[in-house]
Amino acid sequence: MDLLNALFRWLHILAGIIWIGMLYFFNFVNGPLQGTLDGDTKKKVNPELLPRALWWFRWGAAWTWATGVLLLMLVFYHGGLMFDGDGQWTTGAGVMVAFVFVAPFVYDALHKSPLGKDPKSFGAVAFVLAAVTIALMALWGGFSYRAYNIHVAATFGTIMAFNVWFRIWPAQQKIITAVKAGTPPDAALVALAGARSRHNTYMSVPLVWGMINQHTPTVGTGVGIPSNYGFVLFLVVTLVSWHLVWQLYRRAGKVKGF
């Protein structure tokens, strides 16, 4: 079991570096760069560059997600870290675990609704839903501190992987094909791929906090958050994370080439 634990963690982190590294390349490097390229240059460069980058991007996502699920099963479900003390599996716990895998469809429907047209309103509603989710995991599901942190991170990661494979990649295939043919890509597809990529970027930073759950349980109590409401710390970290990502986007637009 120790060997499997170490192996899955190693592969999970390796795949995650590839995935999130490509995500940041697209958002902080390639995005600003594309705005400086003319049509002829895009026609030559993008059909060669982007399929290569997207290959690493989507398979990094797939392996990160798959090894993450294996780690959940090994460390939390088999390893007994889901509950504190005499806690045990209940209907609430089962429902909240299932929600991790249902969440992408809830998110997708919300973003396709009129609410998705306003990024600020959508972000506010998304934060409220994240707050409700983690509170239910802690208070209804009875998850331990480590368990609700990692399960919210897994929820974000599952939504992100869904975006990569079922929204970003299909849209980019059509966009790249249009650019290669010298025709304007569908503006709706460009907007969809861009929005989902930005959402993934914003989710990626609090996701990392959830991953390091073993090292953070005393942080909340250290700043005055009662231990029974430790999940509030994750919400604070989420808001701080989103602000950091916003600052990174601002900085990315100012970085220039030679």
**CA distance linking residue 7 with residue 33, whole number of Å:** 37
Q: Considering only CA atoms, which of 225, 255, 228 is closest in space to residue 237? A: 225
pLDDT for the residue numbered 34: 95
Q: Which residues of the chain have pLDDT under 50?
A: none
90, 136, 143 from 139: Cα distances, Å:
12, 5, 8
Within a 10 A sphere around the Cβ of 142, how many other Cβ atoms?
21
Question: Looking at residue 17, what is its pLDDT?
Answer: 98
Checking 187-192 for CB contacts under 8 A at 24+ apart, the result is 192/167
In sequence order, the β-bridge partners of residue 83 are 143
pLDDT digits (tens, 9 = 90+) for 136-183: 999 999 999 999 999 999 999 999 999 999 999 999 999 999 999 999
Position 79 scores a pLDDT of 93
The Cα 90–Cα 80 span in angstroms is: 14
- Evaluate whether 216 touches 209 at the Cβ level (below 8 Å): yes
Strands (E), 18-133: none
**Token duo for residue 79:** 């390893």
